């Protein structure tokens, strides 16, 4: 349809109020949380809830629901410049920028340049952005209408140097500053503090059913957009977000032959894997690491060496997936005892007690498709 109807995106967008959500990590969950928060406030909302975030998926989502007043649309990082004008979007929500599938996407800088071009050429576009990510801050630049959200910076390995002058950044706690050119973290109107979002009108407890610090970051962005841009009642919006249990299979479970329920967690790149491993480290759960290297995963699995698998020392661990031997080599160098079993479900069945499967994209979709 896009081939035979070049204006299809513009036509299916119609006169709706459209918000675009983009990030390396968390855009599917942020989109779902914002959409459900607005629905709880009475807005009819269209959304590409399955994460189909390129033009074809966006067109299909908008075409399925022609009556909604608002559309909350997840967009792949590379495609933001291509869809911003056809959709006539009024809000851009920007999460983080990290390495992801370098064989497809290129370095972080290439995405940051595309986002910066969007912000520079769309002065009337409202922006909600992560103040704790140097690449996002540089991408937004001197844009006039931006609301900053301080989310903290647990992953800094892609932000060692200043995106403005390339000097080394100075990090203090969760803030950054460049001593060479003065590039610095902006003051944020909203901030994530533990399990609360600090707003100009006080703190709001998130109390999500979705687990993990990364999901609180996603919720902080979504709730900020709901409050600051759509001007909805914060408590009604957050109640809608609290009702979300599973997002496109994330944290869904599979049942083993012995009856054990095993949650499946998606991890796509070093930043995402690191957050999941930090979440699992203090638990007593065994862990299956299921990794493929298809196009959707990134064909080059060398990113395994940037993930701190050492956090799993002392746990029962299985290297699994089509690239289980690559995972096993990395675990061996990290001093993590493990078994090797290519099938993630058989690997989980071989481990004792409570088990979590952490899977790359194609393994994750294979395991969880029935729950979408």
Query: Read out DSSP for 264-331?
Result: EEE--SHHHHHHHHHHHTTS--EEEEE---STTT-S-GGGGGGS-GGGGTTS-EEEESTTHHHHHHHH
**253-371 — its CATH code?**
3.90.190.20
- Could you give the CA distance from residue 251 to residue 372 in angstroms, rounded to a whole number? 11
Chain centroid to CA 235: how far? Answer: 24
Token code pair at residue 257: 């032959």
- Of 257, 238, 225, the closest CA to residue 343 belongs to 257
**How many whole angstroms separate alpha carbon 46 and alpha carbon 44?**
7
Q: For residue 124, what pLDDT is reported? A: 93
The H or E element containing residue 37 is: helix 27-40
**Which residues are CB-contacts of 195 (< 8 A; sequence separation ≥ 6)?**
205, 206, 207, 216
Residue 184, helix vs strand vs coil: strand
Contact 142, 103 (CB under 8 A): no
CATH code given to domain 8-242: 3.40.1190.10
pTM over 0.85: yes
Between 129 and 1, residue with greater pLDDT: 129
Give the single-character DSSP code of 123: T
Q: Which run of H or E residues covers position 221?
A: helix 213-228
Hey, what are 317's tokens?
């661990």
Domain with CATH 3.40.1190.10 in the chain: 8-242
CA dihedral 151→305→329→335, nearest 10 degrees, is -60
Per residue in 282-341, pLDDT (tens digit) is 999 999 999 999 988 888 888 999 999 999 999 999 999 999 999 999 999 999 999 999
Residue 371 pLDDT: 47
∠ CA 103-108-109, rounded to 5°: 120
For residue 370, is pLDDT > 80? no
DSSP 25-71: SSHHHHHHHHHHHHHHTT--EEE-TT---SHHHHHHHHHH--S-SEE
- Res. 372 pLDDT band, cuts 50 70 90: very low
- Burial class, 66, CB count within 10 angstroms (exposed 0-12 / middle 13-18 / buried 19+): exposed
Among the residue ranges 46-55, 123-132, 174-183, 256-265, the one predicted with the least confidence is 46-55
Neighbours of 255 (CB within 10 A): 10
Q: Which two tokens stand for residue 197?
A: 């979002």
| Mean pLDDT across the chain | 92
pLDDT of residue 54: 87
CATH 3.90.190.20 residue spans of the chain: 253-371
Instruction: Answer yes or no: are the C-beta atoms of 311 and 317 closer than 8 Å.
Output: no
| Six-digit token string for 198 | 């600090």
């Amino acid at each position: 349809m896009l081939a035979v109807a070049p204006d299809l995106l513009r036509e299916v967008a119609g006169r709706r109020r459209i918000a675009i959500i983009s990030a390396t990590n968390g855009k599917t969950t942020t989109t779902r949380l914002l959409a459900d928060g607005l629905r709880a406030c009475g807005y009819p909302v269209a959304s590409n809830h399955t994460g189909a975030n390129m033009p074809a998926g966006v067109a299909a989502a908008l075409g399925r629901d022609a009556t909604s007043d608002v559309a909350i649309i997840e967009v792949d990082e590379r495609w933001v410049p291509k869809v911003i004008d056809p959709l006539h979007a009024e809000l851009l929500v920007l999460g983080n920028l990290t390495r992801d599938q370098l064989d497809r996407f290129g370095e972080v800088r290439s995405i940051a340049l595309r986002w910066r071009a969007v912000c520079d050429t769309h002065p009337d576009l409202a922006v909600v952005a992560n103040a704790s990510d140097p690449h996002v801050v540089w991408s937004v630049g001197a844009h006039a209408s931006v609301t900053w959200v301080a989310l903290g910076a647990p992953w800094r390995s892609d932000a060692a140097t200043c995106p403005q002058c390339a000097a080394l950044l100075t990090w203090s706690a969760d803030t950054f500053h460049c001593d060479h050119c003065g590039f610095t973290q902006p003051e944020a109107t909203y901030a994530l503090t533990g399990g609360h979002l600090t707003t100009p009108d006080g703190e709001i407890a998130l109390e999500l059913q979705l687990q993990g610090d990364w999901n609180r970051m996603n919720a902080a962005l979504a709730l900020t957009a709901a409050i600051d841009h759509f001007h909805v009642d914060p408590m009604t919006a957050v109640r809608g977000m609290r009702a979300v249990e599973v997002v496109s299979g994330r944290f869904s479970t599979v049942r083993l032959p012995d009856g054990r329920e095993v949650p499946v967690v998606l991890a796509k790149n070093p930043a995402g894997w690191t957050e999941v491993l930090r979440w699992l480290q203090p638990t007593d759960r065994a862990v299956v690491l299921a990794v493929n290297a298809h196009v959707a995963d990134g064909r080059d699995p060398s990113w395994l060496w940037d993930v701190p698998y050492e956090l799993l020392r002392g746990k029962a661990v299985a290297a699994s997936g089509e690239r289980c031997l690559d995972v096993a080599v990395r675990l061996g160098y990290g001093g993590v005892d493990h078994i090797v079993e290519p099938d993630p479900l058989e690997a989980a069945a071989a481990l004792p007690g409570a088990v979590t499967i952490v899977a790359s994209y194609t393994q994750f979709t294979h395991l969880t498709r029935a729950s979408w």
